[in-house]
Amino acid sequence: MINGAIGFPHAINGSLAAGSGNDYVRGIQKNESVEEALSLFQDNAFSAIDIGQFETNGNMGYFVNSLGMGIDAEISDEAERSPLKKWFNFVKAGKLIYLFIFIKKIVTYKPSCMELIIDGDRHLLKRLFS
């Protein structure tokens, strides 16, 4: 959503809790229900937030709240594609898929390098896991 709205400086974005993470809703937007989230629009209860920008393999994008790269991105990607996730969700243990894949990745993951630029200062991170 943020990547589509970035060219519109007065765009208003909101989020509804869905899935197993919901970090943005819990940590920034701070609402418990769909009704509470929708009331933010009705009450004009908006706050400005920082937007980050990333580039990887020549592709640029934007993010809010967090950006996962390295082992955490691989864990999330594999969890979303895993047929085991449906089974974990079925038995009401959906978050355990991430622990299961973490244990698998911690022994097979090969760290990489990343250049991080914060306010114009460049940092080279070697052997990056996350």
CA–CA separation, 94 vs 88, rounded Å? Answer: 5
Closest to 28 (Cα-Cα) out of 42, 12, 48, 9: 48
**Overall pTM surpassing 0.75 (yes/no):** no
pLDDT for the residue 50: 82
Query: In the chain, how many domains are there?
Result: 2
- Residue 122 sits in which domain range? 68-130
With bands split at pLDDT 50, 70 and 90, how would you rate the model's confidence at 28? Answer: low
| Whole-number average pLDDT of the chain | 81
Q: Tell me: the pLDDT tens digits for 59-81?
A: 899 988 778 888 888 898 888 88
pLDDT for the residue 29: 66
CA distance readout (Å), 52 to 63, 67, 84, 86, 117: 5, 8, 32, 32, 11
Closest to 98 (Cα-Cα) out of 112, 111, 84: 84
Q: Are residues 27 and 73 in the same domain?
A: no
Mean pLDDT of 34-39: 77
Q: How big is the chain by its Cα radius of gyration, in Å?
A: 18
Q: Are residues 127 and 90 in the same domain?
A: yes
Query: Among the three residues 43, 66, 89, which one is the final residue of a domain in this structure?
Result: 66
